[in-house]
Structure 1
Amino acid sequence: MKYRQLAIKNVAGNWHQYIAFFLSSVFSVMIFFIYAEFIFHPGVVNGTIRAADKVRNGLIACEYIIFIFSFFFVLYSNSAFIKSRKKEFGLFTLLGMNHWQLKRMVWYESSIIALVSIAVGMAFGSLFAKLFFMTLAELLKTNDPIPFRFVPKAVGITAGGFFLLFQVITLFNLFRLRRSKIIDLLQAAKKPKNVPAFSWFLVLLSLICLGTGYYLACISNMSNIVKTFFVVLFLVITGTYFLYTQGSTAIFRKLQRMKSVYYKQTHLITISQLVFKMKDNARLLFAVSILSAVVLTASGTIYVFYHDSRSQLLEQYPQTIGYEEQGMEGHPVMDPQRIRDIMRQDKVQIEYEFEMTGVAVPFQVKYINTTDTSALMIPASKYNELAERKAWKPVKVEEGHALFVFPYRNILGHDFFAKGDLLETSIGEHKMSFEMDGQIEHGLGNTSIRIRSFLIINDEHYRQLMDSTPDAFKIRYYGFELKNWERTNDTVNRVISEIDLEQKPYFTSRVQNYLDMAQANSLALFIGIFISVLFFIAAGSMIYFKWFTELQEDQAVYRSLRKIGMTPAELKRVITTQIGLVFFIPFMVGTVHACFAFKALGNLLAVSVWKYGLVVIGLFFFMQYLYFILTRYAYMRRILK
């Protein structure tokens, strides 16, 4: 029998060990190839596809992430496979196969898996690339669909890059195999294991690190995130590592001393084996937990931005279109009647109009070291007029008092003005002071050059000030909210086309900002899904083939248990419990990490992100459960065979 034939038979005979690794590699190659097809697409390179350059840069970054991640994933996988087959290699050596021949056989096996993975991955990539291009064309709002092209450069980079990756890792593992002796290879699975030990100090250190990291995440905000981010990252990673290497052993050893639990049904067998399995696989479970936390946090963050950016846009642009004019004579930007005429001609319905007149007054807050900050002073009745439409709580401002209205969320963790603060300002030479009634976050008019925030004062006081203020200091704002505003881009562009070039900066529109934002967020979500699923599948695959690399040892243990009277039902219960714990403990730890990351994200955005985070966690939990069912089914068949 030739070495190539022997290698093929070995791969076919151990397919249950290789299948998860093979499928994960195929998925990595497929995503890499699809991205490469778009990156080197002639229409993208030549710039004929609208907005493709934005996607291209993002996909190039994703290609690096996929390749680097694939390197470490394949390195770990091959190392685990070789470790599980040391006894087999020892037998080959004992029968006369020298180290060179053994390495040659292993090289053939790795090359076969690499070539098949690359071929299948690129085949599926070609199959799904058209669907990928159709989705991108829809997201980019291109006039014509993106045609599929079989790009030779994408084929060469994908095939060459991944084959080189497999070869480098294979050579690295062969070097490790060369140093093993025959006796070590034959007795690799028979070496007795010492009872796992742990340190209470390191267990306590783990809890302190995690507790401190979680606390810092909870108090993170925009003002301290730079200081706390890397500290939290270090503490959580350190705490998680000792949680598995020390804490898991402490927990299961404690369960062994609890007789009411340990001697109940099959718990003795389950806990006794998990003491060793958790200790032996501590580094793997640690890596999977961190990987799960990264996937959940990244996916949740993208999903939060996808949904929350619309809410932020509506806060900053409360009207579909709005513009401001300095002075009270004429309409240097546009006559409001002209806008009404255009809307009527295009059959666009105006939901409501909002007009306010005020004066920009300078002020200074203790958290902003500047002297040119200003707010538009308007009466409380004008605020309440819009509040009735927006279902906000109306306000009442007394003489000599003022209320600060800020159009952005409070992400700094503190208000610019607290109740009782004194604000000093002026209109021309006329100086004034107000006792502040606090601050609220609402957008009254579209944020623009002159208008950033608002100062709400008593109506009577406002009239007195306006009567004594020259018209040249006054600012008029006109806002129009349109029905079905997302589909009014052509009409809004028609309005903009009639505005003088020098007056255009004073005109604002929500529509174009929304279209740009929706496009960017949709692309980020679409691309991020592939990367997140890749990472998550790889994490599940690592647990999958870790179980199958220890299959022979487990078969010997379970055969002994059957001989002493354990029934198949009891055996299934033990296996299900063990696989379930090893599958879901890292996921739950990663979920806890992600929840505190969501808390920090909510602090930064000044909004609750839980409903979005829980959706992401639920979806990935469902995927993890499916992976667990498939692993349990395949493993049970091998054990009971």
Structure 2
Amino acid sequence: MSKGFYRQLAKTNMKKNGKTYTPYILSVIAAVAMFYIIQSLALNPGFENMLGFDTMNSILIFACWVVRFFLVIFMLYTNSFLIKQRRKEFGVYHMLGLEKKHLAITLFWESLSVLVIGLFAGILFGMLLDKLLYAVLIRMLGFSVPLGFFVSPLAIGRTVVLFVVIMALNYFYDIAQIHATSPIELLHGTDMGEKEPRAKWLLAILGFILLATGYTISLKIEDPVSALAMFFVAVLCVIFGTYLLFTAGSIALLKLLKKKKSFYYKTNHFVSVSGMMYRMKQNAIGLAHICVLSTMVLVMISTTSSMMFSMHDILYTRYPMQNMCYVSGTSRSDDQKMIEAIHQMAKETGCDVKDEIYVRGCIIYTRRHGDAFEADASAMGTSAGVLFCMNLEDYNKSMHTKETLEPGEVLVYAAHERYGKDMIEIMGQDYRAKEVKKAPCNGILASYMSSGYYIVFPDEAAVEQIAEHIPYQYDDCFNELRSYYGIDIDGDADQQKELYKKIQKYPSTNMSSFSVENRNVNEKSLNALYGGLFFTGAFLGVLFMIATVLIIYYKQMSEGYDDRKRFHIMQQVGMTHEEVSSAIRSQVLMVFFMPLVAACIHTCFAFPMIRRMLSLFNMRNTALLAGCMVGCFVVFGIIYVLVYLMTARTYNRIVQE
């Protein structure tokens, strides 16, 4: 046979299987476009001169790998559905004289056609969207959008390579399926008789244990750093638990219902349980996919959007004053000279001082055991506590309060969560803890991933005594008292920057170290981090949403072909058309909305852990996070219902054929 015959046969096959090939080609086009866009953004030179470029670039590169990994799995899944629906067609061709090698050649031309169409249309569509998304991202980060149109040859090359590999994997999978199946099995296609699924109790129990473990981790872990470290463990437990419960747990539950004769041997229950058993056997993996993807969409978009909406609070927590000076190796008199000099600089810029804070104390990196804190430099960045010790006079002046302390008592303020204990032990010394709700916020301490605690002692002598007993951890002057001075002025942005530049030039003689931070200067970098996270979360959320819609469409088609046979069989055994329609409709609705309900439960249990992790990034607005999650679920639920209504038409057409 000539090569033209196989090309023509491939073309005819694709037209004849339009119901399955059209969404498959559209999914390839969408996948190509999404991958090209994220690659092009990561390679766009327009970010290079932007403040916070390194942060933004790292986030986009991470997103590229996530998208790459996801697309390989997703395209393999959609292809497996396509080849399943065409088994009977291949059987007919085989009976008409085409050998398996001829089918392989035909599949090659089909795969090549899909690849060419997908790459051409996907890259073209991606180029059109790339400029729009680049402009959105730039505006989100607070920069002006440059003119010009960027096309990345490297992004095109990487996209072509990835999808050539994906389509090659799909092609070899299809060939393996055909060669591993006998001609009779191919001819019968999906009509082969199915055995009743067996209950796999061990897998069902394991799934329940894994899911319970993931939920328990989320609910029980209180420390934010530990929550961050254990997050992926909890995620893996929930994902594997979800797959096991959908595949094995659902069958086990239905088997239990079947054994209960008083329940099972009723017309409605008999039909529903029997139908659901086979339905879950065929669709459990797809339903688990939908559940996991839905949970990812809800978690990613709600968390990143809540961080974006709370940018103002996060900025003012990290940079509590317009200018914040960090000084070590000075006395109080030296600090007073510095403060007077900075006041003079403010006058030179034509501004008055609105507010200022000054505290003097020491930082201790510790390991926490219950209510005991032991100095340990190696604990930095772990599930530890960073203590900032200061005296009561500085605290009251900075906070404009009149707090008092009894002998043996200290004020305690926890930066990330409540301390919640009556006693606190610091380096072997016990104190009564009087918890307060606010402290003179130290931007450096707020930036630590470890839990931060402000400890207020009665006087500076007590602070000095603590500092003297700090072991040398990094350098010889580590146990010195350090000074923190913040100032706000009433000037505009230019005047604030001018003051910042003047403070930077302040002579650092008689100082071990001197540094200054400015809120306006660092705002762009913070926008790059949180704006980049929001964009990436939204981008991946849209990608997973598209994947969810396509999986739902394929699931509805697959169930339509299966239910068409069941529909006729149940009518032949005496059930009316209305009874059959009602039984199948109730099963479809139950199966369809099961992943959405499970995703909602997963998200609710994930909320405590997500809240604690976000506190590490100074996002502590619990009400906002909860509102974002509820809002995302409502919007996602509406989209989910609309997808059901649209795909239900395809399902009904197939069933009634």
Q: Aligning the two structures, in what range does the TM-score lie when normalised by the shorter sequence?
A: 0.7 to 0.9
Instruction: Decide whether aligned partners of structure 1 residues 566 and 513 sit closer, same or farther in structure 2, where only a CA change above 3 A counts.
Output: farther
- Note if 1:626 corresponds to 2:642: yes
- The match for 2:393 is 379
- The match for 2:548 is 539
Instruction: Decide whether aligned partners of structure 1 residues 178 and 319 sit closer, same or farther in structure 2, where only a CA change above 3 A counts.
Output: same
Which amino acid counterpart does residue 78 of structure 1 have in structure 2?
A: N
Which amino acid counterpart does residue 96 of structure 2 have in structure 1?
A: L
SS of aligned partner of 2:436: strand
- State the percentage of identical aligned residues: 23
Q: Contact 1:84–1:550 (CA<8 Å) still a contact in 2?
A: no
Give the Å deviation of 1:239: 3.0
TM-score normalized with structure 2 length: 0.79
- Note if 1:149 corresponds to 2:150: yes
Q: Contact 1:327–1:474 (CA<8 Å) still a contact in 2?
A: no
- The match for 1:332 is 338
Instruction: Decide whether aligned partners of structure 1 residues 288 and 463 sit closer, same or farther in structure 2, where only a CA change above 3 A counts.
Output: closer
Q: Contact 2:322–2:519 (CA<8 Å) still a contact in 1?
A: yes
Which amino acid counterpart does residue 69 of structure 1 have in structure 2?
A: F
Which amino acid counterpart does residue 115 of structure 1 have in structure 2?
A: V
TM-score normalized with structure 1 length: 0.81
User: Which residue, out of 13, 22, 26, partners 2:25?
Assistant: 22
Q: Give the Cα separation in 1 of the matches to 2:463 and 2:37.
A: 65
Give the Å deviation of 1:178: 1.9
Which amino acid counterpart does residue 652 of structure 2 have in structure 1?
A: M
Q: Give the Cα separation in 2 of the matches to 1:210 and 1:381.
A: 46
| Bigger mean CA offset, 259-268 vs 48-57 | 259-268
Q: Contact 1:319–1:446 (CA<8 Å) still a contact in 2?
A: no
In structure 2, the gaps of 5 or more residues are 367-371, 378-385, 465-479
1:232-631 alignment runs, 5 A limit: 232-233=234-235, 235-256=237-258, 268-307=270-309, 310-323=312-325, 326-328=331-333, 331-332=337-338, 335=341, 337-338=343-344, 341=347, 344=350, 352-356=354-358, 359-360=360-361, 366-370=372-376, 375-379=389-393, 382=396, 386=400, 396-400=403-407, 402-406=409-413, 408-410=415-417, 418-421=421-424, 435-440=431-436, 442-447=438-443, 455-456=455-456, 479-481=486-488, 489-499=493-503, 500-503=505-508, 505-561=514-570, 573-605=582-614, 607=620, 608=622, 609-631=625-647
- The match for 1:636 is 652
**Residue deviations 1:392-444, cap 9 Å, x none?**
xxx6424425433447214xx856xx43457799xxxxxxx995333335331
Give the Å deviation of 1:495: 0.6
SS of aligned partner of 2:422: coil
Give the Å deviation of 1:624: 2.3
SS of aligned partner of 1:196: coil
Instruction: Decide whether aligned partners of structure 1 residues 212 and 385 sit closer, same or farther in structure 2, where only a CA change above 3 A counts.
Output: closer
Q: Give the Cα separation in 2 of the matches to 1:464 and 1:85.
A: 80
| Bigger mean CA offset, 169-178 vs 248-257 | 248-257
Q: Contact 2:228–2:613 (CA<8 Å) still a contact in 1?
A: no
Give the Å deviation of 1:255: 4.6
- The match for 1:67 is 68
Q: Contact 2:411–2:457 (CA<8 Å) still a contact in 1?
A: no
Give the Å deviation of 1:300: 3.6
User: Which residue, out of 34, 38, 41, partners 2:41?
Assistant: 38
SS of aligned partner of 1:379: helix
- The match for 2:11 is 8
Which amino acid counterpart does residue 149 of structure 1 have in structure 2?
A: F
Q: Give the Cα separation in 2 of the matches to 1:167 and 1:62.
A: 24
Instruction: Decide whether aligned partners of structure 1 residues 313 and 403 sit closer, same or farther in structure 2, where only a CA change above 3 A counts.
Output: farther
Give the Å deviation of 1:99: 1.4
Which amino acid counterpart does residue 618 of structure 1 have in structure 2?
A: V
1:178-197 alignment runs, 5 A limit: 178-197=179-198
SS of aligned partner of 2:389: strand
Q: Contact 1:423–1:436 (CA<8 Å) still a contact in 2?
A: no
Q: Contact 1:129–1:148 (CA<8 Å) still a contact in 2?
A: no
Instruction: Decide whether aligned partners of structure 1 residues 482 and 21 sit closer, same or farther in structure 2, where only a CA change above 3 A counts.
Output: farther
SS of aligned partner of 1:165: helix
Instruction: Decide whether aligned partners of structure 1 residues 188 and 420 sit closer, same or farther in structure 2, where only a CA change above 3 A counts.
Output: closer
Instruction: Decide whether aligned partners of structure 1 residues 463 and 534 sit closer, same or farther in structure 2, where only a CA change above 3 A counts.
Output: closer
Which amino acid counterpart does residue 67 of structure 1 have in structure 2?
A: R
Give the Å deviation of 1:538: 1.3
Instruction: Decide whether aligned partners of structure 1 residues 632 and 322 sit closer, same or farther in structure 2, where only a CA change above 3 A counts.
Output: same
Give the Å deviation of 1:494: 0.8
- The match for 1:123 is 124
Q: Give the Cα separation in 1 of the matches to 2:323 and 2:17.
A: 65
SS of aligned partner of 1:443: coil
| Bigger mean CA offset, 49-58 vs 125-134 | 49-58
- The match for 1:207 is 208
Q: CA RMSD in A?
A: 4.0
Give the Å deviation of 1:92: 1.0
SS of aligned partner of 2:252: helix
Q: Give the Cα separation in 2 of the matches to 1:172 and 1:332.
A: 72
